[in-house]
Structure 1
């Protein structure tokens, strides 16, 4: 389907390690509970899933932060657990408790019965992607996303969020064969899901390996990284408009393994706030095979006074250093983001301060 020409391609250019006139910025969970307009729309929807499964509401809340802030990308409003929900695990959201599955999988029978779901069960997501892309009218690119195979497995086995990952790690160590079976199904399902988002109009896709960092060294490579690569290797390279689609991987707590992530079939690596950007640039961001880097200010910086926010933005930008500026070649580039999702208690005016500071200071860096 025809989409409007892109007016601001700064984010996509940075993904491809091309020179930009400023450092692009977007925020994980930028459409969310810190915005009063989001809370009003969610109240109309009646529940989180009522919001996420309604194309009009999902479109509305995706665009809300762009009406307030000059962000350089939009990200689909959805949830990382839509895929296992489509597998029949029974996703619900309890007030104050977060997501929960009615039917977690913890044994041979449960895991053996899993299969890549019919993507028609997730049609509401793809319809939302197309609707958002049209509503953006070329303002900024649209990012689609999914949870990683390992992160989905954590919720599918635990049945909810966890503080110790006892159930999923017990399965990993006692029955690695079952864990590999579960992760293989998840990887193929996530690949099909992201490809359907690309077909619907997503201009970049991101894999959230939110719980990769809870794994031991060795286990991360075998049970998380290998299956993230299985997803990436299956993804379509061109979008609905015929343009190439960059791939982003964010592993929270993954700073120890940047060299292991370097060969991933992706263009961008996201970093949490524990990683020094300059060191990450030296490790994986330089040279012809380097990755663009995304991140990585601590979300809690947004609770500080605006003057402190501006100072912390400067620290992050200076840590990365002067980005690539030659328009005729590729080189090290940075996409500014939080090191994880924005807190629901964040003052919106502090987000405005951060976005303005990133744009202004990053232009000065290039001068």
Structure 2
């Protein structure tokens, strides 16, 4: 594990003069060096499964912006890919998979050895950790079971949350079993990332907002609690960050998961509410609208300063409320990072 890391210290409860900073989708299409490697790899999946290239992509934003943490370059749908669901990426359509629609589609999923098919991911973690100084952390990640399940059920990015809710109400046992299988595989996948050198873990529940209570509790919160508990039982030193996008004030339910160290807030959440209700339980991370970084300038700096002032006296990790979009100018990212570093508490 990385030592003397401002990022890891913040997740342990430390308050520093300036917060640690990293960004969701900090490696990606907005960087010209990424686009060059992407062209060299041939396809997105080829890039994910070439550990030398994937490690280089992971390191690119650290070299360019001197951020406090590198997040593994991979994809949240690699687990269903390892389960044989034929993941592919179509131009203008995003990810596509062979959908699961019935119990027979998932029979045998429990017994599938996904780790051997994902060995390149763990090699990427190891190579990245070896390439960074000790004060830079490596973040491993996975999609939360519900979010991954939405892609598997729809065969693509979810277009109609209501359709999946209907599917759950009609076939609760089938979807509950799928969630449980994904939970088990996610635990194994993240343990392997930690063993390969990941210093922290983030779980992305991008589609949690589409679920009403108590379905949210059953399909999103409880599986995340099970994953966090299993990881802490065997790898107790590794901090865990949850990012349940769009759940609003239900974020408190995620913050109360006993083994969560950090909680990402999206750009739609009132950061004052987050400061008042979440910071006593977890280290808050994020909140800045990534579209502000596209235009940059005063609006971006003012929004960043608001976050810095709100969280000045509690542990906080500066980040976005969602990932960078492809049209983000790298010079605006550099200016934002310099601004954060220059604002002492």
Same structural fold, with TM-score higher than 0.5 when normalized by the shorter chain: yes
Name 1:326's counterpart in structure 2.
Answer: none
* Residues matched between the structures, number: 343
Q: Is the 8 A contact 1:276 1:319 kept in 2?
A: no
1:338-353 → structure 2 map (5 Å cutoff): 338-353=320-335
Deviation at 1:77, TM superposition (A): 0.3
1:21-40 → structure 2 map (5 Å cutoff): 21-40=17-36
Structure 2 vs 1, CA of residues 73 and 178 (structure 1 numbering), >3 Å: closer, same or farther? same
Q: Is the 8 A contact 2:58 2:70 kept in 1?
A: yes
Q: Could you tell me the TM-score, scaled by structure 1's length?
A: 0.90
Name 2:264's counterpart in structure 1.
Answer: 270
Q: Distance in 2 between matches of 1:47 and 1:72?
A: 29
The question of 1:114 aligning with 2:96 is answered no
The question of 1:359 aligning with 2:341 is answered yes
Deviation at 1:335, TM superposition (A): 0.5
Gaps of 5+ in 2: none
The question of 1:215 aligning with 2:214 is answered no
Q: Could you tell me the TM-score, scaled by structure 2's length?
A: 0.95
2:239 corresponds to which of 228, 246, 250 = 246
Deviation at 1:146, TM superposition (A): 0.1
Q: Distance in 2 between matches of 1:74 and 1:210?
A: 20
Q: Distance in 2 between matches of 1:124 and 1:145?
A: 14
Specify the SS of the correspondent of 1:28.
Answer: coil
Deviation at 1:165, TM superposition (A): 3.0
1:179-218 → structure 2 map (5 Å cutoff): 179-218=175-214
1:53-68 → structure 2 map (5 Å cutoff): 53-68=49-64
Deviation at 1:236, TM superposition (A): 4.6
Q: Distance in 1 between matches of 2:74 and 2:283?
A: 25
RMSD: 1.6
1:334 corresponds to which of 313, 316, 321 = 316
Deviation at 1:113, TM superposition (A): 3.5
Gaps of 5+ in 1: 324-331
The question of 1:283 aligning with 2:263 is answered no
Specify the SS of the correspondent of 2:277.
Answer: helix
Q: Distance in 2 between matches of 1:220 and 1:173?
A: 13
Structure 2 vs 1, CA of residues 40 and 108 (structure 1 numbering), >3 Å: closer, same or farther? same
Deviation at 1:168, TM superposition (A): 2.7
Name 1:257's counterpart in structure 2.
Answer: 250
